[in-house]
Amino acid sequence: MAGLIILTGGSRGIGAATVRLAVSRGYAVCFSYLRQQAVAEALVAELRANGGQVWAVQADVGQEADVQRLFATADGLGQPLTGLVNNAGILERQMRLVEMDAARWQRVLQANVIGSFLCTREAVKRMSTRLGGQGGSIVNVSSGAARGGSPFEYIDYAASKGAMDSMTIGLSKEVAAEGIRVNAVRPGVIETDIHADGGEPGRVARLASTVPMQRGGQPEEVAEAILWLLSDAASFSTGAFIDVTGGR
Ligand code: NAP
């Protein structure tokens, strides 16, 4: 069963790689982006030119009305929702916790935690067999940071991923008998633009020697794990975590 999935943050990085792979495997994909409209539209045009079923919706996952608009758009696509990938996530400039302010924590937790919770609630409403749905699969894009804690960089970001991990564990049990599987991937250091947002565009190169495989990962390598968890190939896996970290 491929079906229709919603993926948040599909305009670049791991999200864009996952949209591409999902479309190539026959999924219909409705993805959100925040600011990069031209990039999102170019991805849609490229994939549609090859016959893909794909839609892009501007929506801030941290805003409830935006999330409801994103899901309402998917509702209008004429096929039942079968999956959600909570991929959208942000981090802010590297610093010690003692230098951070509350406004920053609110931004990070709003996008990463509240955003994932809002999207997950809307997906469960639609997919739960208890509520008349056909079941489905939710994949949370956590981070190795949830384990390591990101000292001297972004403990707030790491803590937001820890919250996603707890949600993955609890919700997997809550909806297991309702036809919904809930799993997570924990990427390590992956070659995307997120590191520039933290103020260190060269972070992957700096950390490569600390990875047992001696390199950063590619977004496509994370997308493979997400797609496996989404698919029926993972039919008996729920509450599970796949580390995509090169051994780090
Ligand atoms: P990225 O390149 O910075 O891309 C982030 C994506 O999320 C963009 O499409 C962005 O949209 C969207 N986005 C950001 N805030 C949003 C919001 N409030 N509402 C909706 N969309 C929003 O990030 P990435 O490196 O691919 O990371 C993707 C996920 O993997 C994140 O959850 C991240 O924490 C996690 N992760 C990444 C790494 C890594 O090393 N890269 C490691 C571990 C975990 P616009 O482009 O339109 O702004």
Angstrom distances, CA of residue 51 to CA of 18, 25, 46: 17, 12, 9
Question: What are the extents of the domains in the chain?
Answer: 4-244
Provide the Cα torsion 18, 131, 1, 224; round to 10°.
Answer: 20
Report whether residue 192 contacts ligand 1, using a CB cutoff of 6 Å: yes
**Does the pLDDT at position 1 exceed 90?**
no
Give CA–CA dist 110/116, Å, rounded.
9
Residue 76 has pLDDT above 60, yes or no: yes
For the question of residue 33 being annotated catalytic, the response is no
**4-244, CATH topology level:** Rossmann fold (3.40.50)
Q: Which of 27, 33, 154, 157 is catalytic?
A: 157
Tell me the C-alpha distance between 163 and 94, whole Å: 20
At 80, is the pLDDT very low, low, confident or very high (cuts 50, 70, 90)?
A: very high
Say if ligand 1 is within 6 A of residue 164 CB.
no
How many whole angstroms from 87 Cα to the centroid of ligand 1? 6
**pLDDT tens digits, one per residue of 170-187:** 999 999 999 999 999 999
Cα–Cα nearest to 52, from 62, 43, 65, 63: 43
Is the shortest distance between the CB of 6 and ligand 1 below 6 Å? Answer: no
The pLDDT assigned to 2 comes to: 84
Identify whether the C-beta of residue 107 lies closer than 8 Å to the C-beta of residue 34: no
d(CA 245, CA 161): 15
pLDDT digits (tens, 9 = 90+) for 214-226: 999 999 999 999 9
Interval between CA 132 and ligand 1 midpoint (Å): 32
In short, whether 246's Cβ falls inside 6 Å of ligand 1 is: no
Cβ–Cβ < 8 Å for 40, 88 = no
